[in-house]
Amino acid sequence: MRVASTYFPRFAVAEINRKQTDIAELQSQIASGKQLLRPSDDPARFASTESLDGAIARMDQFTKNTLVSQQRLTQQEGVYNNVIDSLQRLKELAITAGSDVMNDQDRSAIAAEARQLREQLIDYANSRTPDGDYLFAGQKVGTRPFADAGGTVRYYGDQTRNYVQISDARKVPVNDTGDAAFMQVPAGNGTYTTRLDPANAGSALIEDDTVVDSGAWRNGRYTIEFSAPDRFSVIDSDSGATVLGDQPYHAGEAVTFDGIRFRISGKPQAGDRLYIEPAGRHSVFDVADRLLAALDQPRTTPAEQARARHLLDGAIGELDQALEHFQALRSDLGGRMNYVDRTAAENDSLKYMLEKSRSEAQDTDYAAAVSKLEYQMSTLEAVRKTYLQLGNLSLFSYFR
């Protein structure tokens, strides 16, 4: 086969151009740190890295979401801690007010502090986030959720919790609604409440009310009627049926029926009535109001003293219910905070693996790239030298 004299120069020039292109490609990979510079480099792998980029972007958003969640939940925990501290102080004041050595002036001073604590509870319920949103307004974050209207605190938020997406498959509620947190405290002992008839002339009152058999409790309403200072009956208030008929009264003696037990103390008068009713739910502000009512209650007659004592004992019991309520909320909040922390750790681990996969797919292996670059540069130099040598060759060279 005959080879034209121009073949080798053309081949050498083409090889030089190819080597220069390869060298430029390697230099770009080393400079950018990416071995995939354009989709045409490896379409399948380039598509894979784009998918990994999307997954990593989601992880970054979840990281931001978990930070927001942790901030909201931590702020809410701080509010609950403050509420619990205020309720503890109210209980201390109630116990102090029950001392026999307290006079009206002492109780007035206690009432002044209790009113301040009630106002603090309203302030806590109207807490705002750093963004200015009301923490306990549900989704009505721009609406002040609690306001005192004529001595009664009302809720103006909604019943919807706010959820934040913290992973592909997980959402977490970052708030409790103000209604659930502040307006749903169990009344009485959590099962039933007791009250005195305002017309009572005697000093009888109910103490130590408990549930001894929840299965026997019928969620009923009962009236305890005294036919004489030493005789009483228990009547079903709805049906009028007699539950306990014509019982002898002994102060401090336990009374038991339908799964509940309590003691009656004091000196009743004929016609006096005491009432037992199913416990509903009311606000934490109502609990504070009951303590204030007990502190403001006149104590001139035995009947007034009994009402004051009954209100004060009831306030202490309901403060215990309120404390249990907020402690339960705080415990649930701690569970959510742990859930967010665990999810954040899982997201970090998943992001690390995604970034590692992306790095393996698109990042430059510097050691290999530098080695290839040195090889390509040395071969380029060899081709150049060969080209120069070929350029100097001709038939006349053999006649020298």
**96-139 per-position pLDDT tens digit:** 998 888 898 999 999 999 999 999 999 999 999 999 999 999 99
**55-84 per-position pLDDT tens digit:** 888 889 999 999 999 999 999 999 999 999
Q: Write the single-letter amino acid at 204.
A: A
Which residues pair with residue 363 across a beta bridge?
Answer: 34
**220-251 per-position pLDDT tens digit:** 999 999 999 999 999 999 999 999 999 999 99
pLDDT of residue 59: 87
Of 194, 192, 198, 162, the C-alpha closest to 177 is 162
* Cα 134-138-142 angle, rounded to 5 deg: 40
Domains belonging to the chain, first-starting first, are 36-188+283-363 (1.20.1330.10), 192-278 (no CATH)
Which residues pair with residue 34 across a beta bridge?
Answer: 363
Mean pLDDT check: name the lowest of 37-46, 131-140, 258-267: 37-46
What average pLDDT does the structure give for the chain?
85
pLDDT of residue 129: 92
How many Å apart are CA 46 and CA 25, to the nearest integer? Answer: 16
Residue 91 region by backbone torsions, left for phi larger than 0, else alpha for psi between -120 and 50, else beta: alpha
Q: Encode 197-227: b = buried (16+ Cβ within 10 Å), e = exposed.
A: beebebbbbbeebebeeeeebeebebbbbbe
How many Å apart are CA 56 and CA 50, to the nearest integer? Answer: 10
